[in-house]
């Protein structure tokens, strides 16, 4: 819903507490919102929008037609003659980028955005256990391979863990797309709690410098809940906002990064397409672990040549940096074109055509 709002209203980012009409929405856009949401299986009425114009409140009223699929799976494209393409959520749980990206792709297959496990399911789990949970959802859609996956950022590492588990079940993984996925050499040195603190602070980067300095000084000696409460006390967060959902979200991110830390990445008999950001400038979130990641974040193969042979890695440059390769419409079109070309040239596609 946030992605649709952003495109209709012409804004860069929409938060869960944003108000459709205060952002510039009006009746005609409301009709377009209903139509586009319906195309994705998100069902609500005009009355729902007018009575609950705040994104979080509207989302709670949505009825979702998942075509008998497991709750949480988003059917981005419902039809196609080729095996489906599954997009794996990244380390922040985001998959909204899939909608805009797939809209630009020239492919003939269903596309699904997979869910993260619930917060309770993800607690203290390994990446392999998270992969097993996601595979249950995958197999409700596609009981047998060959399977095709794409993952952005750290979502690519989860996609790799899913492939590992499927290969262990004697299934076939015929296509794997990494969208700027670095394989850190020393992931264990990147503290999950520091990753999350950086994410919290990045939310407030547009604040007055003094407010940012207060939060930065405070962040090293407190929990995530305490940091958000401090931000609320100094006016960075509205005083009437319930912080419960924010705390759960950031705890979930920390859980995922702890699972990443413990994952021993094996060498698998698969090929990967690495769509890497051509611009060496790194976003704040990627920069956080740069000293531990070292040159992997800037190499064409993003460190995966330590695990796989160079011949198994097809490196494809995409304009922009880690953020703008997906966030910029122009760059995203290039990514969509390159990804479509690779997918349409995959062995599964050729076999079906023959």
Q: What is the pLDDT of residues 294-344, one digit of tens each?
A: 555 567 788 899 999 999 999 999 999 988 998 899 999 999 999 999 999
* Per-residue pLDDT, 243: 76
Which residues, at least 6 apart from 118, have a Cβ–Cβ distance to it below 8 Å?
none
Q: In whole numbers, what is the pLDDT of the chain averaged over residues?
A: 80
CA distances from 267 to 88, 151, 204, 220 (A): 20, 18, 40, 37
Phi and psi based region of residue 273 (left: phi greater than 0; alpha: psi -120 to 50; beta: remaining): beta
Residues 262-299 have pLDDT tens digits of 888 999 999 999 999 998 655 444 433 333 345 555 67
SS3 173: strand
Enclosing H/E stretch for 148: strand 147-152
Task: Give long-range contacts, CB 8 A cutoff, 24+ apart: 256-259.
Answer: 256/91, 256/93, 256/116, 256/122, 256/130, 256/154, 257/91, 257/154, 257/190, 257/192, 257/195, 257/196, 258/124, 258/192, 259/122, 259/125, 259/126, 259/127, 259/129, 259/130
At residue 151, φ and ψ (nearest 5 deg) are -145, 140
pTM of the full structure: 0.73
Residues 18-71 have pLDDT tens digits of 999 899 888 778 888 887 887 777 788 888 888 889 999 898 888 765 443 455
Give the residue carrying structure tokens 């290039």: 334
Spatial separation of the C-alpha atoms in residues 98 and 165, rounded to whole Å: 24
Burial class (CB in 10 A: 0-12, 13-18, 19+), 312: middle
* Per-residue pLDDT, 147: 96
More confident residue, 198 or 233: 233
What is the Cα 246 distance to its own chain's centre? 17
SS3 239: coil
Q: What is the mean pLDDT of residues 2-29?
A: 87
Spatial separation of the C-alpha atoms in residues 62 and 45, rounded to whole Å: 9
Least confident of 84-88, 107-111, 235-239, 244-248: 235-239
């Amino acid at each position: 819903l946030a992605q649709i709002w952003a495109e209709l209203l012409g804004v860069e980012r929409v938060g869960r507490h944003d108000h459709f009409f205060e952002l510039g929405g009006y009746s005609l856009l409301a009709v377009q919102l209903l139509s586009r949401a319906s195309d994705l299986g998100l069902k609500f009425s005009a009355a729902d929008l007018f009575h609950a114009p705040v994104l979080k409140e509207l989302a709670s009223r949505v009825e979702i037609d998942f075509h008998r699929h497991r709750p949480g799976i988003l059917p981005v494209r419902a039809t196609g003659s080729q095996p489906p393409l599954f997009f794996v959520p990244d380390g922040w749980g985001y998959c909204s980028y899939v909608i805009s990206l797939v809209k630009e792709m020239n492919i003939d297959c269903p596309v699904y955005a997979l869910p993260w496990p619930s917060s309770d399911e993800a607690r203290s789990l390994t990446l392999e256990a998270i992969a097993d949970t996601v595979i249950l959802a995958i197999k409700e859609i596609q009981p047998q391979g060959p399977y095709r996956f794409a993952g952005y950022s750290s979502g690519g590492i989860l996609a790799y863990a899913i492939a590992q588990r499927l290969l262990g079940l004697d299934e076939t993984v015929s296509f794997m797309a990494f969208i700027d996925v670095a394989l850190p050499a020393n992931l264990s040195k990147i503290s999950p709690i520091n990753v999350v603190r950086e994410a919290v602070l990045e939310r407030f980067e547009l604040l007055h410098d003094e407010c940012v300095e207060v939060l930065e000084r405070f962040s090293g000696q407190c929990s995530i809940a305490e940091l958000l409460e401090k931000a609320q006390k100094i006016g960075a967060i509205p005083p009437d906002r319930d912080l419960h959902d924010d705390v759960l979200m950031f705890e979930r991110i920390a859980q995922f990064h702890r699972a990443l830390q413990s994952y021993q990445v094996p060498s698998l008999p698969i090929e990967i397409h690495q769509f890497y950001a051509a611009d060496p400038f790194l976003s704040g979130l990627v920069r956080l672990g740069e000293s531990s990641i070292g040159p992997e974040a800037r190499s064409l193969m993003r460190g995966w040549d330590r695990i796989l042979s160079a011949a198994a890695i097809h490196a494809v440059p995409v304009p922009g940096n880690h953020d703008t390769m997906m966030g910029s419409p122009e760059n995203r079109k290039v990514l969509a074109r390159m990804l479509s070309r690779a997918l349409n040239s995959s062995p599964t596609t050729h076999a079906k055509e023959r």
